[in-house]
């Protein structure tokens, strides 16, 4: 039941359903396919699409490869439609992108930083404000993924950078943004993206593990990362697995994440590590040292067994360096995982798969956090009120999009 009691409410509800369907399918399905998927009458769908085009929310183009007869139309993002600014803040650099309805990503900047809160978030806030000003009322919000636990909507701790209770909205100066800000943990947001566009789509219970300098992980139930009581639930890497007595920068002893990821690779071959530096060296180790890779994979497999016993997932998805560890040392990973499984788990163990989104998951998850807030009846009504004089649908999508987003298209 959708709760609609009037024809106007039903129309508003169906507008949201249609836009959500276009967004989730990546703007790849035809109007007739969407009509069938949503159980709409053809006439109703036509009226909805026309209204959304007038509001600069949708634009239709002929389906690729259509040969003859009446062109089959594919609804997609409007050239003057909503844009979500999305950011992936890693320990050594941040990436900023503009994202349209359907998930089309245009990278606007990739900027190294010095690892300090001010040196990282200050320039990022300036870049967000600059692009928000340039894109104007098209910007519906900004999503920011950070490599640490997020508490109370905006306080972040990144232990190996020395960040403690850093107020992200304050340092980004969100009053200059003029749009809502959504801050989230990078692993939790990567899991959200995987649930919408990757290996966790349609999965009832899954585990997502993101391997970068260290390890993050989260339980995903019905397409949503379990947030925890304070919002900082994506921290499987800080469980004590493997018997290590090594002190983690987070303050705990024996964290699983100290044995998995770029820092562990560097430590294994005797190179300096920590502080969010050494990505290129770690990638060389990953490509050349089978011994270091196998040690990483064994530590990863051992921890996966514990998570499988605890949560009974259908699938475990690996992102970041995880897919390469699985590809280059999958036998070592599985050999370490199997002995740790309960006997009842060994009969039908969950799949362990590499992410379908590669390194882009956290960025796409930041985008999804913005569109989740926008694709509501309230969000669309605010858009309509702030765009009362929209022009007719603009067919020249290519020229308008490239002139306004002004970046590099990304897969």
For 24-74, write each residue's pLDDT tens digit: 999 999 999 999 999 999 999 999 999 999 999 999 999 886 556 566 899
- Output DSSP code: residue 319: E
Separation of alpha carbons 23 and 379, rounded Å: 15
Residue 82 phi, psi dihedral angles, 5° rounding: -65, 145
Lowest pLDDT segment from 31-40, 169-178, 274-283, 303-312? 169-178
Residue 385 phi, psi dihedral angles, 5° rounding: -70, -30
Residue among 139, 123, 132, 227 nearest 183 (CA): 227
Separation of alpha carbons 347 and 380, rounded Å: 48
Q: Count each helix (H run) and each strand (E run) in the chain, helices first.
A: 14, 16
Residue among 16, 4, 109, 14 nearest 371 (CA): 16
The structure tokens listed for 262 are 């770029």
Q: Are strands 73-76 and 205-211 parallel, antiparallel or unpaired?
A: unpaired
- Output DSSP code: residue 86: E
The CATH number of the structural domain formed by 199-355 is 3.30.420.40
Contact assessment for residue 103 and residue 357, using Cβ atoms and an 8 Å cutoff: no
The CATH number of the structural domain formed by 83-189+360-410 is 3.30.420.40
For 72-96, write each residue's pLDDT tens digit: 899 999 999 999 999 999 999 999 9
Contact assessment for residue 170 and residue 156, using Cβ atoms and an 8 Å cutoff: no
**E strand map for 302-368:** 315-320, 351-354
The structure tokens listed for 302 are 């051992």
**CB-hemisphere CA count at 13 Å for 97?**
27
In which residue are the tokens 């040969």 written?
A: 67
Q: What fold does the segment set 7-76 form as a domain?
A: Arc Repressor Mutant, subunit A (1.10.10)
Q: Residue 27 belongs to what H/E stretch?
A: none
Residue among 278, 269, 188 nearest 224 (CA): 188
For 340-374, write each residue's pLDDT tens digit: 999 999 999 999 999 999 999 999 999 999 999 99
For 105-114, write each residue's pLDDT tens digit: 999 999 999 9
Task: Reply yes or no on whether the pLDDT at 389 is more than 70.
Answer: no
Give pLDDT, residue 396: 43
- Output DSSP code: residue 25: T
- Give me the chain's average pLDDT, please: 92
Contact assessment for residue 236 and residue 209, using Cβ atoms and an 8 Å cutoff: yes
- Bridge partners (DSSP) of residue 220 are 206, 225
When pLDDT is cut at 50, 70 and 90, the band that residue 400 belongs to is very low
Separation of alpha carbons 391 and 139, rounded Å: 18
DSSP characters over 129-190: HHHHHHHGGGEEEEEEEESS-EETTTEEEEGGGTEEEEEHHHHHTGGGT-S-EEEEEHHHHH
Contact assessment for residue 16 and residue 375, using Cβ atoms and an 8 Å cutoff: yes
Give pLDDT, residue 404: 59
* Domain spans of the chain, in order of start: 7-76, 83-189+360-410, 199-355
Separation of alpha carbons 250 and 163, rounded Å: 10
Cα distances (angstroms) measured from residue 96 to each of 99, 104, 318, 364: 10, 14, 23, 11
Same fold, 7-76 and 83-189+360-410: no
When pLDDT is cut at 50, 70 and 90, the band that residue 233 belongs to is confident
Task: Reply yes or no on whether the pLDDT at 115 is more than 70.
Answer: yes
Separation of alpha carbons 272 and 191, rounded Å: 30
Give pLDDT, residue 203: 97
Over its C-alpha atoms, the chain yields an Rg (Å, rounded) of 23
Q: Which residues contact 154 (CB under 8 A, 6 or more apart)?
A: 167, 168, 169, 170, 181, 183
When pLDDT is cut at 50, 70 and 90, the band that residue 394 belongs to is very low
Separation of alpha carbons 50 and 48, rounded Å: 5
């Amino acid at each position: 039941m959708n709760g609609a009691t009037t024809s106007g409410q039903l129309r508003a509800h169906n507008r949201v359903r249609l836009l959500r369907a276009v967004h989730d399918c990546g703007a790849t399905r035809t109007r007739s396919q969407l009509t069938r998927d949503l159980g709409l009458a053809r006439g109703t769908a036509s009226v909805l699409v026309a209204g959304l085009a007038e509001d600069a929310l949708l634009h239709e183009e002929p389906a690729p490869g259509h040969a003859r007869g009446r062109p089959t139309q594919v609804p997609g993002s409007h050239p003057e439609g909503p844009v979500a600014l999305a950011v992936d803040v890693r320990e050594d650099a941040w990436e900023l992108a503009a994202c349209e309805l359907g998930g089309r990503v245009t990278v606007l900047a990739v900027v190294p930083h010095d690892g300090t809160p001010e040196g990282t978030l200050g320039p990022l806030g300036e870049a967000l404000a600059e692009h928000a000003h340039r894109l104007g009322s098209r910007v519906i919000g900004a999503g920011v993924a950070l490599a640490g636990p997020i508490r109370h909507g905006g306080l972040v701790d990144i232990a190996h950078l020395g960040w403690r209770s850093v107020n992200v909205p304050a340092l980004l100066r969100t009053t200059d943004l003029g749009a809502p800000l959504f801050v989230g943990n990078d692993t939790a947001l990567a899991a959200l993206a995987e649930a919408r566009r990757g290996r966790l789509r349609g999965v009832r219970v899954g585990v997502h593990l993101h391997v970068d300098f260290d390890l993050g992980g989260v339980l995903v139930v019905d397409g949503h990362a379990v947030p925890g009581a304070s919002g900082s639930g994506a921290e499987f890497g800080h469980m004590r697995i493997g018997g290590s007595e090594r002190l983690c920068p987070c303050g705990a002893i024996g964290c699983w994440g100290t044995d998995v990821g770029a820092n562990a690779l560097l430590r294994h071959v005797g190179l300096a590590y920590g502080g969010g530096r050494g990505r290129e060296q770690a990638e060389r180790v990953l490509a050349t040292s089978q011994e270091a890779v196998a040690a990483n994979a064994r530590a990863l497999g051992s921890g996966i067994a514990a998570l499988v016993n605890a949560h009974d997932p259908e699938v475990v998805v690996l992102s970041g360096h995880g897919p390469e560890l699985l590809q280059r040392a999958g036998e070592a990973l599985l050999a370490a995982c199997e002995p740790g499984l309960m006997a009842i788990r060994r009969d039908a163990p969950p799949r362990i798969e590499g992410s379908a989104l590669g390194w882009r998951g956290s960025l796409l998850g930041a985008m999804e956090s913005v569109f989740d807030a926008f694709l509501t009846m309230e969000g669309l009504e605010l858009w309509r009120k702030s765009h009362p004089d929209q022009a007719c649908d603009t067919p020249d999508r290519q020229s308008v999009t490239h002139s306004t987003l002004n970046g590099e298209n990304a897969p």
